Amino acid sequence: MPTIDVFAVGLEAKAVNLLAQMAMDLIAATLEVSFTDDVAVLQEIVDDGAAQLRRRVDMMADMYAWQNYQLGKVEGSEEKAASQGRRAKYAWVLDAGAQHCSTCLTLAAGGPYTLDELPGIPGDAPTDCNGGCRCDLVEVGA
Amino acid sequence: MAKAKKKPKLRERINAVFSALRGDITATVTETNEWQRFATGIRKVGLRGTDEFDSDQKSMAERIDAAWQRDPIMFRVVDDYDKLALGSGLTMTSENEKALPPARAIWRENNLDDLQHAAAIELTVTGNVFARVPKMEKPTAAGESTVPSIDLIPSLQIDKIVTDETGRITHYLRKWTEQSYGGIETGVKEGAGVVVPKPKAKYEFIPADEIVHVKINAAAGDVRGISPLAPTWRWSQTYLRTLQTTYNLSLARSLVIMHAAYEGGNSESIAEMLSTFESNTVRRTDPQGFDFDVFATGQVIGTNEKVTITPIGAEVSGRSMDSEMRRLLLAVAAGVGIPEVLLSDGDYSNLASSTNQMAPFFRLVKSIQQKIIQLFRGCFELAFDRMDQYGLLNGVVPDQDKDEYHKADVLDITGPEIETTDISTLANSLVSLTSAKIISKQQACEQLNLDWKEIQQQIADEKSAGGDDTDDTGVEQNPGYTFPFGALNHAIRAAADPTTDPKGKPRHAETFKTLKRLLGNMHTEINTFKTALVAAGSDFNKKKAAYDAFTSAVFSKLHEMQDVTRAMGRKEANAND
């Protein structure tokens, strides 16, 4: 895993790209009816598209908040460990209330992991659940 | 003692039958073939099998024939039976390529495109259609027509249908009146030049093998059919009379009856005022011949400032919503099988019930279409017989097969499909159209006669109850958490000490407030973006400007969101120290 700051920049870039794509999708939907002068149809399409955009933004914000929360925890743990002259280690903890993908099950069974060994942070790791991952990184042996 | 009449022997009776079959017996017109007059109008069962069409029914047919071109309801029924049954018209095809040229020549030269509609109208108005395909002379000279003629004979001109003793139709007696104008002289003549035609009564016994006759509503043994308008005619007339009366009354009230108020007036001044009015009225006669008094147009009457004159408001209308008038319309509709919605303004109908009512009506119309096709098949059989007689159809079909079927059987005459609008099919079509963004949801709702405002509310309720769980960002909503930030909230609450805040507030309460505020700001930016897109219309530059403004505003919120949640995570990492 790259340094915390580099990782944070990467997270932000991905979120920005996703948001830009969502906005462009809405514009694309309106372009399909730009050949008509039917304002009612355009209004309806924009209303529907905006409602969908709102839902997608909510989902994205939820994912983004979790990712940065996990990143912040790792950052805090690394700072603390560095000040204590040790290396922090993290367990990949499954969310008790969620369904788990097979990748997360494998990650949870392995570990604990140092920062270098972590494949990523929950929500931005190469797991089958992608951005929906709500697993937790918990420092162990602190 | 009078000698008893000798009863014919069996042999003589059999001979008589065979003679009839051979056509030896001259057709006789029996009494039962006349337009008989029955006191009660009820048919006698024993007279069935011959042309028994009593004078009451003939006069009814004449009334309908006169009325349908003036009565809007009757016209609507006739027009619907014709246009719905035939629509774009009958189609004639054949897999036998040699049959098509002569068939098409017959179709073209006899203008069967128009004739089919005339036949449908005739069938509806009288219950019968008589088409004549006369025998033709052998064409000898070049240029002579080789196409037999097909003509419709008005049903009311068929005065008698002649049958022999076995009930077999032998002739049709046609009676009609022609207007003879004498010789026609071209060029400009002097004088008034009024040409008075001389009516000439004509009659003709047409052989049965020249006539194709189709009928509807004919019971077993009936020679003629009955029009579906026959039982409804009087109800239609009653409806129109009621409508006319209502209209007249309303009109008269609005023209004649006025309210005059005399402020502070006594009986003398009021009497004087009334006298002034009466002396200023004129007498008019309405189209029905009733007299009424009214102020003449443009008339000025002088009174004084204390008098106020107000015409009595009267609604001039013939609303179908009046229960009596609606019942009259229902009687007409029931008689002809047409749904009420086709005869009214549709106040009482909704799409679903109207669609259900139309289904049996369309089946009825389909049967009319089949009758016209049957007529055409009969006409083509006769026409092909005429042509075949002179070898004009050689090679159309192999002659050796002619005993198995008629040459006209190679023709395929079909009518347009008559389908009702099935609600489920319509709904599926409308879903496709809205998905393709060809029509709006509002327009689709109007097609289905749904209230758009109710549908909007329903959509909003469904969305707030929970929309899609997935989208193409690949983010699946985690079940069990409120949304958004539910998982984050849960993680904080699940910490060992959820209330480390010295004031006892839930940890990170301010952070969550900030997150919700930031998300609310993003929603506001979405609304602004939406408005800008609609205003932009088809202007791409404006759309791009709206996009730039939206993304710029929202990216800053994202950055702020990252800062606060990252800070939250750092605090949590150190919280367990």
Q: Higher-confidence residue: B332 or B147?
A: B147
**How confident is residue B335, by pLDDT bands cut at 50, 70 and 90?**
confident
Spatial CB neighbours of B571, under 8 Å, sequence gap ≥ 6? A72, A76, B508
Q: Which of B114, B328, B110, B360 is nearest to B237 (CA)?
A: B328
* Mean pLDDT to the nearest integer, A4-11: 84
Q: Higher-confidence residue: A94 or B318?
A: A94
**How confident is residue B395, by pLDDT bands cut at 50, 70 and 90?**
confident
Residue B177 β-bridge partners: B201
> What residues of chain B, 511 to 530, have a C-beta less than 8 Å from chain A?
515, 518-519, 522-523, 526-527, 529-530
Quote the Cα angle for B178-B180-B181, to 5°: 145
* Mean pLDDT to the nearest integer, B339-348: 61
pLDDT of residue B204: 93
Distance CA(B82)–CA(B229), nearest Å, equals: 14
pLDDT of residue B33: 40
pLDDT above 90: percentage of residues in chain B:
17
Partner-chain contact B565 A69, CB within 8 Å? yes
> What's the burial of B457, exposed, middle or buried (CB within 10 Å: 0-12/13-18/19+)?
exposed
Partner-chain contact A74 B567, CB within 8 Å? no
Separation in Å, CA of A138 to nearest CA in chain B:
9
In the chain, the amino acid numbered B282 is: V
pLDDT of residue B15: 54
- Other Cβ atoms within 10 Å of B289 Cβ, number: 6
pLDDT of residue B43: 44
Window from B164-173, B343-352, B509-518 with minimum mean pLDDT: B343-352
Question: Scanning the structure block, which residue is given the tokens 């009676």?
Answer: B175
Distance CA(B118)–CA(A139), nearest Å, equals: 93
pLDDT digits (tens, 9 = 90+) for B284-315: 777 667 777 777 666 666 777 777 777 665 44
- Minimal Cβ distance to B442: which of A40, A46, A142: A40
- Minimal Cβ distance to B569: which of A23, A42, A68: A68
> What residues of chain A, 57 to 116, have a C-beta less than 8 Å from chain B?
57-66, 68-77, 79-80, 95, 97-99
| Any A CB within 8 A of B437 CB | yes
Instruction: Report which DSSP code applies to B348.
Output: T
pLDDT of residue A142: 60
Helix (H) or strand (E) holding B342: none
Separation in Å, CA of B469 to nearest CA in chain A:
10
pLDDT digits (tens, 9 = 90+) for B525-571: 999 998 888 888 778 888 889 999 999 999 999 889 999 999 999 98
Chain-centroid distance of CA B530 in Å reads 44
Separation in Å, CA of B434 to nearest CA in chain A:
10
pLDDT digits (tens, 9 = 90+) for B427-436: 777 777 777 6
Task: Say how many CB pairs under 8 Å bridge A and B.
Answer: 195
Q: Which of B218, B174, B207, B183 is nearest to B23 (CA)?
A: B207
Partner-chain contact B534 A41, CB within 8 Å? no
Instruction: Report which DSSP code applies to B346.
Output: S
Which chain A residues have a beta carbon less than 8 Å from that of B468? 55
Instruction: For B437, list phi and psi in degrees, rounded to 5.
Output: 60, 35
Among A18, A59, A83, A94, pick the best mutation site for testing chain B contact (most B Cβ within 10 A).
A59
**How confident is residue B359, by pLDDT bands cut at 50, 70 and 90?**
low
* Mean pLDDT to the nearest integer, A58-67: 89
Q: Do residues B546 and B529 touch, judged by C-beta distance below 8 A?
A: yes
> What's the burial of B144, exposed, middle or buried (CB within 10 Å: 0-12/13-18/19+)?
exposed
Partner-chain contact A77 B487, CB within 8 Å? no
pLDDT of residue B217: 86
Spatial CB neighbours of B553, under 8 Å, sequence gap ≥ 6? B521, B525, B528
Window from B28-42, B46-60, B300-314 with minimum mean pLDDT: B28-42
Which chain A residues have a beta carbon less than 8 Å from that of B486? 62
Please give the ipTM for the structure prediction: 0.90
Read out DSSP for B181-243?
A: ------S--SS--PPPPEEEEEEEEEEGGGEEEEESS--TT-SS---TTTTTHHHHHHHHHHH
Distance CA(A65)–CA(A12), nearest Å, equals: 11
pLDDT at B31 over 60: no
For B215: left if phi > 0, alpha if psi spans -120 to 50, otherwise beta; the answer is: beta
- Minimal Cβ distance to A55: which of B467, B476, B491: B467
* Mean pLDDT to the nearest integer, B341-348: 59
Question: Scanning the structure block, which residue is given the tokens 């004639």?
Answer: B92
Read out DSSP for B493-543?
A: HTSS-TT-STT-PPTTHHHHHHHHHHHHHHHHHHHHHHHHHHHHTT-HHHH
Q: Do residues B128 and B61 touch, judged by C-beta distance below 8 A?
A: no
| Any B CB within 8 A of A142 CB | yes
Residue B240's alpha-carbon distances to B61, B62, B105, B311, B519, in angstroms, are 19, 19, 45, 27, 68
In the chain, the amino acid numbered B213 is: H
Separation in Å, CA of A85 to nearest CA in chain B:
16
| Any A CB within 8 A of B483 CB | yes
Residue B455's alpha-carbon distances to B401, B448, B449, B460, B474, in angstroms, are 65, 12, 11, 9, 30
Tell me whether strands A136-140 and B151-153 are parallel, antiparallel or unpaired: unpaired
Residue B555's alpha-carbon distances to A5, A52, A56, A60, B67, in angstroms, are 18, 19, 15, 13, 77
- SS3 readout for B272-303: HHHHHHHHCEEEEECCCCCEEEEECCCCCCCC
Quote the Cα angle for B131-B132-B133, to 5°: 125
> What's the burial of B405, exposed, middle or buried (CB within 10 Å: 0-12/13-18/19+)?
exposed
CA nearest to B479 within chain A: A98
In the chain, the amino acid numbered B162 is: V
Provide the Cα torsion B548, B549, B555, B557; round to 10°.
Answer: -170
Separation in Å, CA of B534 to nearest CA in chain A:
6
Among A134, A135, A137, pick the best mutation site for testing chain B contact (most B Cβ within 10 A).
A134
Partner-chain contact A61 B561, CB within 8 Å? yes
Tell me whether strands A89-93 and A136-140 are parallel, antiparallel or unpaired: antiparallel
Instruction: Report which DSSP code applies to B547.
Output: H
pLDDT digits (tens, 9 = 90+) for B237-280: 888 887 777 777 766 665 556 677 777 778 888 788 778 777 87
Q: Higher-confidence residue: B305 or B148?
A: B148
Query: What is the residue-averaged pLDDT of chain B?
Result: 75
pLDDT of residue B24: 41
For B548: left if phi > 0, alpha if psi spans -120 to 50, otherwise beta; the answer is: alpha
Separation in Å, CA of B531 to nearest CA in chain A:
8
Quote the Cα angle for B500-B485-A51, to 5°: 155
pLDDT of residue B404: 66
CA nearest to A142 within chain B: B577
Residue B175 β-bridge partners: B203
Tell me whether strands B281-285 and B291-295 are parallel, antiparallel or unpaired: antiparallel
Separation in Å, CA of A4 to nearest CA in chain B:
11
Partner-chain contact B519 A58, CB within 8 Å? yes
Q: Do residues B163 and B170 touch, judged by C-beta distance below 8 A?
A: yes
pLDDT above 70: percentage of residues in chain B:
67
Q: Do residues B35 and B43 touch, judged by C-beta distance below 8 A?
A: no
Buried-exposed string B409-446: b where 16+ CB fall within 10 A, e elsewhere: bbbebebeebebeeeeeeeeebeebbeebbbbbbbbbe
Q: Which of B348, B464, B363 is nearest to B417 (CA)?
A: B363
Q: Which of B264, B449, B445 is nearest to B349 (CA)?
A: B449
pLDDT at B22 over 50: no
| Any A CB within 8 A of B548 CB | no
Partner-chain contact B561 A23, CB within 8 Å? no
Residue B572's alpha-carbon distances to A113, A122, B31, B174, B576, in angstroms, are 19, 16, 115, 108, 7
Distance CA(B238)–CA(B159), nearest Å, equals: 30
pLDDT of residue B211: 96
- Other Cβ atoms within 10 Å of A98 Cβ, number: 20
pLDDT digits (tens, 9 = 90+) for B468-527: 443 333 344 444 566 678 778 777 766 655 555 555 566 777 888 888 889 899 999 999
Tell me whether strands B211-215 and B198-207 are parallel, antiparallel or unpaired: unpaired
Separation in Å, CA of A117 to nearest CA in chain B:
19
List, in sequence order, every beta strand (DSSP E) within A12-121: 89-93
Q: Do residues A124 and A135 touch, judged by C-beta distance below 8 A?
A: no
Spatial CB neighbours of A32, under 8 Å, sequence gap ≥ 6? A45, B437
Partner-chain contact A51 B543, CB within 8 Å? no
